[in-house]
Amino acid sequence: MTARIIDGKALAQQVRERIAGEVAQLRDERGVTPGLAAVLVGEDPASQVYVGMKHRASEAAGLRSQQRVLAADTGQSELEELVAQLNEDDEVDGILVQLPLPDHLDPGPVQELIAPAKDVDALNPYTAGRLAVGDPTFLSCTPYGVLEILAHAGVELAGSHVVIVGRSNLVGRPLSVMMTLKGRDATVTVAHSRTRDLAGVCRTADVVVAAAGRIGLITADMVRPGATVIDVGTNRDDDGKLVGDVDFAGVVEVAGAITPVPGGVGPMTVAMLLQNTLEAARARRGLPRR
Ligand code: NAP
CATH number of the domain encompassing residue 201: 3.40.50.720
User: Are residues 148 and 78 part of one domain?
Assistant: no
User: Are residues 251 and 149 part of one domain?
Assistant: yes
pLDDT given for residue 88 in this prediction: 98
pLDDT given for residue 150 in this prediction: 98
pLDDT in tens, the chain (290 residues): 799 999 999 999 999 999 999 999 999 999 999 999 999 999 999 999 999 999 999 999 999 999 999 999 999 999 999 999 999 999 999 999 999 999 999 999 999 999 999 999 999 999 999 999 999 999 999 999 999 999 999 999 999 999 999 999 999 999 999 999 999 999 999 999 999 999 999 999 999 999 999 999 999 999 999 999 999 999 999 999 999 999 999 999 999 999 999 999 999 999 999 999 999 999 999 998 76
Pocket lining for ligand 1, CB < 6 angstroms = 142, 165-168, 170-172, 191-195, 198, 211-214, 217, 232-235, 265-266, 269
CATH of the domain at 95: 3.40.50.10860
Answer yes or no: is 132 within a domain. no
What is the number of alpha carbons within 13 Å of residue 203 lying toward its C-beta? Answer: 8
In terms of residue numbers, what domain contains 78? 31-115
Rounded distance between C-alpha atoms, residue 155 and residue 244, angstroms: 21
Q: Candidates 149, 173, 232, 276: which one to mutate for ligand 1, based on the most atoms within 8 Å of Cβ? A: 232
> Which helix or strand (DSSP H or E) is residue 252 part of?
none
Q: Does residue 42 contact residue 71 with C-beta atoms inside 8 Å? A: yes
Nearest alpha-carbon partner for 81 in 118, 119, 39: 39
CA-proximal residue: ligand 1, atom 30 (nearest): 233
Listing DSSP states for 189-245 in one string gives: EEE-TT-S-HHHHHHT-SEEEE-S--TT-B-GGGS-TT-EEEE---EE-TTS-EE-S
47, 167, 177 from 135: Cα distances, Å = 31, 21, 11
User: Are residues 167 and 230 part of one domain?
Assistant: yes
- Centre of ligand 1 to C-alpha 277, Å, is 25
The residues annotated with a catalytic role in the active site are 54, 98, 121
- Centre of ligand 1 to C-alpha 232, Å, is 8
Index of the ligand 1 atom closest to the CA of residue 244? 32
48-69 per-residue burial string, b: 16 or more CB within 10 A, e: under 16:
eebbeebbebbeebbbbbebbe
21, 88, 206 from 235: Cα distances, Å = 34, 37, 25
Index of the ligand 1 atom closest to the CA of residue 165? 21
Index of the ligand 1 atom closest to the CA of residue 268? 40
Q: Does residue 249 contact residue 260 with C-beta atoms inside 8 Å? A: no
> Residue 17's CB: how many other CB atoms inside 10 A?
13
Answer yes or no: is 1 within a domain. no
- Centre of ligand 1 to C-alpha 66, Å, is 29
Rounded distance between C-alpha atoms, residue 175 and residue 88, angstroms: 30
DSSP letter assigned to residue 127: H
User: Are residues 257 and 145 part of one domain?
Assistant: yes
- Centre of ligand 1 to C-alpha 176, Å, is 14
38, 134, 165, 173, 230 from 155: Cα distances, Å = 33, 22, 18, 20, 11
pLDDT given for residue 289 in this prediction: 72
Rounded distance between C-alpha atoms, residue 275 and residue 281, angstroms: 10
Question: How many structural domains is the chain composed of?
Answer: 2
Answer yes or no: is 127 within a domain. no
DSSP letter assigned to residue 124: S
User: Are residues 146 and 247 part of one domain?
Assistant: yes
| 126 contacts: CB under 8 Å, gap ≥ 6 | 112, 116, 119
> Residue 149's CB: how many other CB atoms inside 10 A?
23
**E strand spans, the chain:** 4-5, 35-41, 64-70, 94-97, 161-165, 187-191, 207-210, 228-231, 235-236, 242-243, 257-258
User: Are residues 155 and 84 part of one domain?
Assistant: no
Answer yes or no: is 26 within a domain. no
pLDDT given for residue 290 in this prediction: 65
